[in-house]
Structure 1
Amino acid sequence: MVRSHVPIPSDPVERIRALRVMREVYRRGEKPSLEVTYRTVNGSTCGPYYVARWRRDSRFRHGRTLYLGKLKNESVSFVEWLVSLDKEQVLELARHLMRNLRSVLKTLLTEVSSLSYKKARRVLARGLAMAFDARPANSTRIRDVLEELPDRLESFLIRTLGGWPAHYSSHLRKVIRSRRRSLDGKHEVPDVLLELERWKLRHG
């Protein structure tokens, strides 16, 4: 059992970042490393920024990086605490949190069914932050709960929890550059979700 005090973020956005980390822990069965990265914008180096990172292994062909932001962010403190635990403690916490997430999603299903897409999305985004406080659900899979949502809300939730796969953003840049050339320099925004499905088919 995890005996240490859990530094749960108070800010909803930071909670969702921490939740995404724990969902990836649950999926991969491995705790992340906390790493520092920098960005170059117009020739200037910005940072340091912190990321949670998983390397590729025999089960997963690609690694995964989740952005956490600057050192002062609560999600950084959460992951810093997480990597100090034993692997079994981290996996136990991830399992507990995923059961909480199922409880939250079940509750939100009834609340968003009659709302417009924009309002429903707002309720879902806020509701995800409650996963740290919820009571665990029974054995219903998260996927089963998600499939009860309307298609657009389901894809919104999946993107919010999962983010883009590793290396997908570089693929998307190539698609945009290719379309610019074919349109004589004009910019056309690709269908991001369609391109993502094509990318997934190619990368397994």
Structure 2
Amino acid sequence: MAQLEQFTTPVDAVVSRMRALDAALPERDGIAVFNRVYLAVTREVGRRLTRGAFPDPRAAATLDVRFAERYLAAVDAVADDRRPPACWRPLFQLRRHPGVRPLQFALAGINAHIGHDLALAVVDTCRALGCEPADLEDEFDRVGDLLASLEERIREDLMPGPDLLQIADPLTHLLGSWSLERAREATWSAARALWALRRFEDVAEEFTERLDSAVGFAGRMLLIPLPD
């Protein structure tokens, strides 16, 4: 009988899923590019949880896992020939386009995951723990700070060409239109709004659909094919 993989924490389970994707996908695939970035983030969250870096480890772990599950559900939907949320469709549709650069894939994935999935994950976590969004603000900020620190490294690692050419590169101008900090702020507002609307299901559903569509539109702009 094959030995079952043992998970010390719920975060380990989602790390295992991402590692399996990393091993299975071609390196240049757009989902693979984002997955490598997200795997690094999730591993770091797991390390910080182990070190006691979060004031409320249970809340931090729950938020991190519910957040990751949104991305993994999109991957599963495409594998099963179902439509993923609108925020993820541009990345899945253009994942093999030769004119889209790795940095675009990485940031389009971050845009979908932060702009849409994180707001819903906050609501999921509040329901699971019986708390309010305000109770998760520290954990939200700490995960966001980690993403911000990695975003700078991602840009440095994946931005092509010598520094002197970057100012003329159309990629520089395209990516200058998107900000992780603004996305985080908008997501926190969206999470609070969704929580306030939780008893009005029709309104909450419409709000979620519009958020999904808007984030998907931004993602499509980030994935405009560029000349070499």
Compute the TM-score of the two structures, normalised by the length of structure 1.
Answer: 0.29
Bigger Rg, which one? 1
Scaled by the length of structure 2, what TM-score is found?
Answer: 0.27
Considering Cα pairs closer than 8 Å and 6+ residues apart, tell me whether 1 or 2 has the greater RCO. 2
More helix by share: 2
Higher strand share: 1
